[in-house]
Chains A and B, each alone.
Chain A
Amino acid sequence: MSNEAKPVTIVMIEDDEGHARLIEKNIRRAGVSNEIIPFTNGTEALAFLLGPDGSGLVNKGRQLLILLDLNLPDMTGVDILEKVKGNDHTRCAPVVVLTTTDDQREIQRCYDLGANVYITKPVNYDGFANAIKQLGLFFSVMQIPKAD
């Protein structure tokens, strides 16, 4: 990690635009103003994360936080998680899994692959907003190096 801290870029991989919008709104509402790059499918997201050559060099030294939905049209979020955590350059990026699945086996699998946080999208909106708010706190902790 370079001494010159760069602002954290949030990579949001979410195929449901409504969910994406709600997540973004709540992040902003929590006072997080970092750049959010949205992707609606896995292929494009992987191209961005690992670069066109798939080596991940493009993101060397960049600070990324990945918001990942597990149900994507072209692949499952687990595939993306596997590739991100298997790459030397993107391995350090925290991954927050956001999904409707509350299947215990699925959750355990994500943690085993290196997911940092797993949030189930509750239909209860207050719970959802609360979870995002907590995520905002998480971001602000990450942003401390930038503030220094």
Chain B
Amino acid sequence: MPISGNALVRSTAALLLVGLLALAAIVGTTIWLVERNQVYFDQGLQARIARSATVNLRNALQNAETGQRGFLLTGEERYLEPYNDALPQIPDLLERFNTVQKSYPEAAASVAALNAGVADKLSELAETIALTRAGKRDEAMAIVETDRGKDAMDEARTLFDGIITAADDRIVTGIEDQRGSTNALRWVTIIGAFVIFVVVGGSAVTVMAYTRDIAKARADLEAANAGLEDRVRERTDDLGKANEEIQRFAYIVTHDLRAPLVNIMGFTAELEGTVGTLQAYMNGHDDGDDPRWNDARLAATEDLPEAIGFIRSSTRKMDGLINAILKISREGRRQLRPEQLDLNDVIETSTAAVHHQISENGGSVTSDVKVPRIISDKLSLEQILGNLLDNAVKYQDTARPLTIMVRAALAAGNRILIDVQDNGRGIASTDHERVFELFRRSGAQSQPGEGIGLAHVRTMVRSLGGEITLVSELGTGTTFTISLPRDLRNYVGSVQ
């Protein structure tokens, strides 16, 4: 299916847009997902920190309690070591715990309660230890037995467990969120890659199809061009052959027409001789009484010579026409000799022949040759120009001096246009084509002629690969324009 240029541009643009959007979506989503991942990771980290801070605080508190219990049981200072170790740490740990837990407003109540519980427990511990050191162990034991410390510790433990569980939950949730976003990232990447593959594949297919179309169109065009050249060559050959055929036809016909004409002329001459004999005899005998004699004499002396005269003039005319056709056909058969010519020289030669006749009536010939160099047949060119100039002289307007202008200029297709312009009597528009026909003449038949000049000119111009046209206005003048190939050899080469 052929793809038009517009459709290609549209579909390619659409595909590129889709590809761009897909790429933008992938990049955007990826950045967003990575950000999300970072957040989840931070949250997880935070939760772990919170958890460890909580666990550390709990451990320290438990160590303190363990130390207190050992001391209360034994009364020995060495059992109090865990307490002594843990006690200085607890404010720091508590501080850290509080700081960490600030990020979780929902845990604020628990934290406050825990702070209170821790403070309560620490004061109970400090109180009992102080009493034991002071030797009032029973008093200390009484405090212990009130379960004040145990309750505070149990409450704190419960709170600790809650907070740790919450942290664990947050860690698990964070990991799941992270996995989810990683999955989403994977899917976005896979779908995006698929879309890009589709876009690239679609573009490639479209471009390839279009390229194939272009290649095919070019091949078709080349084939058509080659065919066209062949056809032109063929037609030119055919034309050349047809032209040759016509020339041969004209030549043969005129020859065969001549043979009977020789007889007509010959026997007319014989007849004339016989009539002469008859007349001599008639004039020598006068028998005026016999009307048949008079009729016979009239026939011999007047009717017969008159008839013979008409036959003679007609055959002479016919001979002239046949000779004209022969001349043209022979001109067509003449081998052209292309040579390098200077148009100025050719025009000079042609105008020189009519110069006398022109200047006689005060006329003038001027030329304006812009492209002097031409490769053509000299004799034909001189005859063409000579005929046109002869016509200009013959059919000049007697009311004004004749002026002839000959121009030559370059035309498209490496051709030369030669204009021969006169201010003569002009040719009626109905006769513009007719004047080029054989034996046809235009306007007043004031000059002798057979009507072959322009026909001959056209034959010669065409054999030079050219064409002749005219522009004329009755009473103003005529311009003949001859278009010739600049190099006759190209034309001759293409015909032969």
A residues in contact (CB < 8 Å) with B: 16, 18-19, 22, 25, 71, 100-101, 103, 121-126, 128-129
Contact B258 A100 (CB under 8 A): yes
* Contact B315–A123 (Cβ < 8 Å): yes
Cβ contact within 8 Å between B269 and A129: yes
Could you tell me if B259 and A125 are in contact, using CB atoms closer than 8 angstroms? no
| Chain A residue with the shortest CB-CB distance to B252 | A71
Given pairs A16-B260, A124-B319, A129-B269, 7 additional interface contacts (CB within 8 A): A16-B263, A18-B266, A19-B262, A100-B262, A121-B259, A125-B265, A128-B266
- Contacts of B255 on A, CB cut-off 8 Å? 71, 100-101
| Pairwise interchain contact A128-B262, C-beta atoms closer than 8 A | yes
When distances are taken between beta carbons in the complex, the residues of chain B under 8 Å from A22 are 262-263, 266-267, 270
Minimum distance in angstroms from B267 CB to a CB of chain A: 7
Q: How far is the CA of A32 from the CA of B155 in the complex (A)?
A: 175
Residues B121-151 near A (CB distance < 8 A):
none
Q: Which residues of A contact B330 (CB under 8 A)?
A: 103
Interface size class of B (residues with CB under 8 A): 10 to 19
Q: Are B258 and A126 in contact (CB under 8 A)?
A: no
Residues on A with C-beta less than 8 A from B268 are 125
**B258 A18 Cβ-Cβ under 8 A:** no
Q: Which residues of B contact A126 (CB under 8 A)?
A: 269
Nearest B-chain residue to A100, judged by Cβ: B258
Q: Within 8 Å CB of A101, what residues of B?
A: 255
User: Taking CB as reference atom, which chain B residue is nearest A17?
Assistant: B263
Q: Are A16 and B269 in contact (CB under 8 A)?
A: no
How many angstroms between the C-alpha atoms of A126 and B272 in the bound complex? 12
Q: How far is the CA of A124 from the CA of B268 in the complex (A)?
A: 11
> For the complex, what is the distance from the CA of A126 to the CA of B263, rounded to whole Å?
13
Contact with A along B248-282 (1 / 0, CB 8 A): 00000001101111110111111000000000000
Give the shortest distance, in Å, between B63 (CB) and chain A (any CB).
142
**How many angstroms from the CA of A128 to the CA of B264 in the assembled complex?**
13
Asked if A125 contacts B261 (CB within 8 A), the reply is: no
Q: A135 → chain B, closest Cβ, in Å?
A: 15
Docked-complex contact A18 and B263, CB < 8 angstroms: yes
- Contact A18 B267, CB 8 Å, known A71-B255, A101-B255: yes
Residue of A nearest to B251 (CB): A103
Tell me the smallest distance from the CB of A51 to a CB of chain B, in Å.
30
30 sample A-B contacts, Cβ–Cβ < 8 Å, listed by A number = A16-B259, A16-B262, A16-B263, A18-B262, A18-B266, A18-B267, A19-B259, A19-B262, A19-B266, A22-B267, A22-B270, A25-B270, A71-B256, A100-B259, A100-B262, A101-B255, A121-B258, A121-B262, A122-B262, A123-B258, A123-B261, A123-B265, A123-B316, A123-B319, A124-B265, A124-B319, A128-B262, A128-B265, A128-B266, A129-B269
Q: How far is the CB of B90 from chain A (nearest CB, A)?
A: 141
Contacts of B315 in A (CB 8 A): 123
**Which residues B217-275 have CB closer than 8 A to chain A?**
255-256, 258-263, 265-270
Q: How far is the CA of A121 from the CA of B263 in the complex (A)?
A: 10
Q: How far is the CA of A83 from the CA of B272 in the complex (A)?
A: 40
7 smallest CB-CB distances across A and B, nearest first, come from A18-B263, A125-B269, A22-B266, A123-B319, A100-B258, A125-B265, A121-B262
Interface-central residue, B255, B259, B268, by most chain A CB under 10 Å: B259
